[in-house]
């Protein structure tokens, strides 16, 4: 069996590579009935040029998460760093100037100003940020409208446009100040599937030209067009390797796995400690030679491979390959907790015993 190159979808980019970085972010809402944890210890990194989709059930925390990235809302605890700026420390005024230069935001219901023409709507962010020379603004806005196919309706009011056209105008407006990052919250939620496909084609093209895109969507087929799908469930961000390895599990099942799998880095040649199961994130595990082989024939485990062990000691037949190994694993007690919390998930995993992302 040949060993695959590290599967990027299994791990997040390192903090040093991140254009968007959330570290230990919690959001707790205070309500008369008590407190509600909408985001629980989110650690997220997104590199420049990535297209990342955010999926999850209604109320799982998707909008709260993107509101952290846009600075529309602030974390209760933790750090949010976007394009080199620590958002936690900015005043409201500084945040809105920062947002104007760094982010374009696209909403589900377009939010164009109804009394301004489409062209004026697109010029508005340039006026607000004073980014381009006043003489240049109109032609720049027209170029952006051309790019999204709307030059013929530039002088109309938004109400005269279809929903799809209004969303394309909102995308042009989001691009007005040429921000490196676009954030779109359910941008196709109010569009039919043909129009949604057109909006997705515009997004894909923008990413191909270097924009970083974070898109919230309920639609799994649209989510999967991104480079990376983030799943959020009850305020928890599911480890990308769990999403990539067991994409068909329910989000609740993924959440159970997320809570009970722990990561471990092994230097080259190190023996895998007693474990009930392992998933290789990076590097490889090779069948060891120092212990007697078990009855079964063991294959190397490359990045993306997972395997369950009958007995924890069987894990010791594996050693990290020459490049080391970074794994998620269950030790005996984590596996027992998983069995107690989610017996159906254990049964599903046991029916396969292993596989490849």
31 or 135: whose CB is closer to ligand ATP?
31
CB of 61 to ligand ATP, least distance (A): 4
CB of 206 to ligand ATP, least distance (A): 23
| Cα dist from 335 to 8, 250, 276, whole Å | 26, 19, 7
| Residues 62-81 within binding reach of ligand ATP (CB under 6 A) | 62-64
| Integer-rounded Cα radius of gyration of the chain | 24
CB of 317 to ligand ATP, least distance (A): 43
Site for ligand ATP contains 109 (CB under 6 A): no
49 or 189: whose CB is closer to ligand ATP?
189
DSSP 258-314: HHH-EEEEE-TTPBPPS-SEEEEEEEEEEE-SSS---SSPPPPB-TTEEEE-SSGGG
| Cα dist from 31 to 35, 36, 61, 62, 78, whole Å | 6, 7, 16, 19, 21
d(CA 141, CA 130): 14
CB of 189 to ligand ATP, least distance (A): 9
Taken as a whole, the chain contains a residue count of 357
| Residues 6-65 within binding reach of ligand ATP (CB under 6 A) | 29, 31, 36, 38, 56, 58-64
CB of 29 to ligand ATP, least distance (A): 3
| Residues 274-333 within binding reach of ligand ATP (CB under 6 A) | none
63 or 225: whose CB is closer to ligand ATP?
63
Q: How many residues bind ligand ATP (CB under 6 A)?
A: 12
| Cα dist from 187 to 112, 211, 344, whole Å | 13, 16, 35
CB of 64 to ligand ATP, least distance (A): 3
d(CA 219, CA 55): 8
Q: Is 320 helix (H, G, I), strand (E, B) or coil?
A: strand
Query: Which tokens go with 3?
Result: 């060993």
Interface pattern 250-269 for ligand ATP (x via CB under 6 A):
--------------------
Contacting positions for ligand ATP (CB under 6 A): 29, 31, 36, 38, 56, 58-64
């Amino acid at each position: 069996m040949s060993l695959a190159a590290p599967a990027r979808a299994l791990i997040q980019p390192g903090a040093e590579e991140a254009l968007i970085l959330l570290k230990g972010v919690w959001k707790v809402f205070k309500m008369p009935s008590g407190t509600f944890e909408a985001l629980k210890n989110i650690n997220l990194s997104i590199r420049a040029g990535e297209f990342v989709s955010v999926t999850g059930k209604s109320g799982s925390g998707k909008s709260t998460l993107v509101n952290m990235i846009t600075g529309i809302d602030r974390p209760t605890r933790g750090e949010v760093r976007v394009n080199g700026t620590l958002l936690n420390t900015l005043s409201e005024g500084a945040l809105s100037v920062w947002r104007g230069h760094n982010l374009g935001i696209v909403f589900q219901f377009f939010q164009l100003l109804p009394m301004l023409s489409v062209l004026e709507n697109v010029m508005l962010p340039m006026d607000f940020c004073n980014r381009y020379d006043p003489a240049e603004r109109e032609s720049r806005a027209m170029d952006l409208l051309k790019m999204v196919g709307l030059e013929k309706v530039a002088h109309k009011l938004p109400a005269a446009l279809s929903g799809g056209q209004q969303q394309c105008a909102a995308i042009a407006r989001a691009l007005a100040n040429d921000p490196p990052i676009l954030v779109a919250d359910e941008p196709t939620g109010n569009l039919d599937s043909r129009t949604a496909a057109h909006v997705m084609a515009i997004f894909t093209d923008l990413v191909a030209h270097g924009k970083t895109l974070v898109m919230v969507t309920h639609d799994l087929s649209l989510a999967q067009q991104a480079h990376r799908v983030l799943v959020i469930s009850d305020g928890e961000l599911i480890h990308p390797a769990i999403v990539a390895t067991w994409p068909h599990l329910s989000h609740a099942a993924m959440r159970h796995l997320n809570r009970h799998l722990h990561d471990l880095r092994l230097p080259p040649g190190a023996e895998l400690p007693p474990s009930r199961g392992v998933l290789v994130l990076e590097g490889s595990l090779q069948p060891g030679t120092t212990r007697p082989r078990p009855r079964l024939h063991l294959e190397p485990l490359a990045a993306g491979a997972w395997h369950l062990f009958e007995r924890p000691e069987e894990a010791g037949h594996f050693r990290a390959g020459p490049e080391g190994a970074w794994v998620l694993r269950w030790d005996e007690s984590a596996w027992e907790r998983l069995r107690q919390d989610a017996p159906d998930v254990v049964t599903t995993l046991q029916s396969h015993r292993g596989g490849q992302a």
